[in-house]
Structure 1
Amino acid sequence: MNTTEEPRYTPEWLELREGADAAARATASLEPLHRHLAKRSAERKKLGQDRTLVVRDLGCGTGSMGRWLAPRLDGPQHWILHDKDPGLLDLAVARMPAEAADGSPVTVATEQGDIAALTAADLAGTTLVTASALLDLLTREEVDALATACTGAGCAALFALSVAGLVELAPPDPLDATIGASFDAHQRRTEHGRRLLGPDAVPATEEAFARHDATVFTYAAPWRLAAAESVLTAQWLRGWVGAAREQRPDLAPRAHAYLRRRLAEAAARELRVVVHHHDLLALPRPAGETP
């Protein structure tokens, strides 16, 4: 779940959310991805080419996607981790798995820089592009450029955990809908001249890849926060309500009281939260195949 910029990028926040992220990721995406990768591997074997999977993880953070996905894929893999933060890159490299699902080696490299500027030439030789909780921070133009780059390079793309604009809390509170609507407006804010997609990111990305004749799958990937996740729930609440209050300063008195109530419920392990996300898998159409 994306909240305010500060908690999103701290190692502590990324560590805290990793278990919920892993539980939410749509494992159903792996079946079509495995089929695509197996077909690609067979084609490269026939041509006598290197069959190493080259995976670029955009905005990798501490590397949770690599830790989740690398042990679920067969064959030798080379992961290229992209992030602006060199400290996060160091953490991600140190914790990457050493082996694939079949025991093949996994190697790692890093690239520090702006992922929004990637082109098809930058992605040449890449098998798969991945990212987590990233799409909703992009603009429509940046999503279009990313789809153009991926399809131009002929690589698959797996984007996990994009916000869906729906949160369910139990027990309910009269202010839930107001806070949720304000948070969603914050996700769609204009920042430094960039109009962020927020909950509109997955439909926009699906449309962008479809325009390039990619085959696109979307999957539900909800966070389900129950009593055992009370610490994560409390931290998420602070970010969720804080972003809503930032969007609508007039909410401050009511939002403060709301947050106090909800934090007390989380501490008492009485609060249940479902934060809805979507995963998206885009597979390039094979050369010569008509739409």
Structure 2
Amino acid sequence: MSTTTSTSPDAPRPAARTAEVAPFEPRWLELREGADAAARATELLDPLRDLLRDLPVDRPGSPDRPGRGAGRGLVVHDLGCGTGSMGRWLAPRLDGAQHWVLHDRDPGLLRLAALRAPRAAADGSPVTAETRRGDLARLTTAALAGASLVTASALLDVLTADAVDALAAACAGAGCPALLTLSVAGRVDLAPVHPLDGEIADAFNAHQRRGDLLGPDAVGAACEAFDGRGARVRVHPSPWRLGPEDAALTAQWLRGWVGAACEQRPELAARAGTYLRERLEACAARELRVVVHHSDLLALPGTAGGAA
């Protein structure tokens, strides 16, 4: 595949969060990639494919809608791409030539994403990529000019209401759909249960909402923002289901989950330390199961809003 690199002030990356252990480090992103892939809502792909199949795509020399595709097929903007896991999951599930624009503010992650970008679509058509470094807070319609699709993974919950509104406005202005996956839903189920589960979860959710961040409220805010601009919005659950085979990921997630709760409520530290130790022991013994609830959102351009 071919890759190019450019720098744009409109390219995104949210500020780092402490809700998970080293949330934007390659090791953590690689550790969670399998769980992310298994969790994403494939139920949203058919309506997305239907729309993209009917989308006018330029070929070289076409006078119709110049700029869309520019002979490269679908143009997909992946916001906060990290190591590029969204592209590795989605590109092989879509037909036709694709050009991915990988946005992140971390140059190291952009290099990894470009190196590991997929080479072929579902039907064997070529997939190419370029990278853009910058800040999501300044995302504009102009930054998405010619876009066929906007994607993001684990991004909405670390945005402010203003940033989500700007994202919806930019997508509406560009006339493109958005597939926004793996936003935290504010619910975690652990088995076996522990008396401190609920208190840790509440403190974690408060940490996710610190400052002006939306945290578990992000999907609702995004639905309103896209619906208010005439999009047809669909939301589907996309939970992580972590069992004994996911012990390494579960242990890392536990450390970050409890750590964020204690950062939000320092008075929890003593009890939470014992809690974490017991949970990690259960994880190492392959006795712990965790469901971390997320939601995937698909916003399709249209004249009538509504969530389904």
TM range (shorter): over 0.9
Give me the identity figure in percent.
64
Farther-moved stretch of structure 1 (114-123 vs 9-18) = 114-123
**Displacement of 1:48 after TM fit?**
8.3
Cα distance in 2, alignment partners of residues 215 and 42 from structure 1: 22
Q: Choose the corresponding residue for 2:167, options 146, 149, 155.
A: 146
Cα distance in 1, alignment partners of residues 248 and 18 from structure 2: 16
Task: Note if 1:72 corresponds to 2:93.
Answer: yes
RMSD: 1.8
Structure 1 residues 68, 290: closer, same or farther in 2, change over 3 A?
Answer: closer
**Displacement of 1:121 after TM fit?**
1.4
Farther-moved stretch of structure 1 (122-131 vs 237-246) = 122-131
Count of aligned positions: 283
Please give the per-residue CA displacement for 1:103-154, whole angstroms capped at 9, x wherever unaligned.
1100100000002211111111001110000000001111011100100110
**Displacement of 1:41 after TM fit?**
3.7
Task: Note if 1:233 corresponds to 2:250.
Answer: yes
Does the CA-based 8 Å contact 2:80-2:152 persist in structure 1? yes
Q: 5+ unaligned residues in a row in structure 1: which ranges?
A: none
Task: Note if 1:170 corresponds to 2:191.
Answer: yes
Task: Note if 1:218 corresponds to 2:235.
Answer: yes
Task: Note if 1:134 corresponds to 2:151.
Answer: no
1:253-272 equivalence runs, <5 A: 253-272=270-289
Which residue identity is paired with 1:173?
Answer: H
Which residue identity is paired with 2:48?
Answer: L
Give the corresponding residue for 2:6: none
Q: TM-score, normalised by structure 2?
A: 0.88
Cα distance in 2, alignment partners of residues 117 and 69 from structure 1: 26
Cα distance in 2, alignment partners of residues 290 and 175 from structure 1: 44
Give the corresponding residue for 1:89: 110
Q: Choose the corresponding residue for 2:82, options 61, 78, 82.
A: 61
Tell me which protein shows more helix as a share of its residues. 1
Task: Note if 1:277 corresponds to 2:294.
Answer: yes
Does the CA-based 8 Å contact 1:138-1:196 persist in structure 2? yes
Cα distance in 1, alignment partners of residues 257 and 165 from structure 2: 28
Structure 1 stretches (4+) deviating beyond 4 angstroms?
Answer: 42-51
Task: Give the secondary-structure state (helix, strand or coil) at the position aligned to 1:262.
Answer: helix
Structure 1 residues 219, 69: closer, same or farther in 2, change over 3 A?
Answer: same
Cα distance in 1, alignment partners of residues 147 and 289 from structure 2: 40
Cα distance in 2, alignment partners of residues 166 and 186 from structure 1: 14
Does the CA-based 8 Å contact 1:227-1:269 persist in structure 2? yes
Q: TM-score, normalised by structure 1?
A: 0.93
Cα distance in 1, alignment partners of residues 35 and 20 from structure 2: 19
**Displacement of 1:39 after TM fit?**
1.3
Q: 5+ unaligned residues in a row in structure 2: which ranges?
A: 1-16
Cα distance in 1, alignment partners of residues 22 and 126 from structure 2: 33
Give the corresponding residue for 1:8: 23
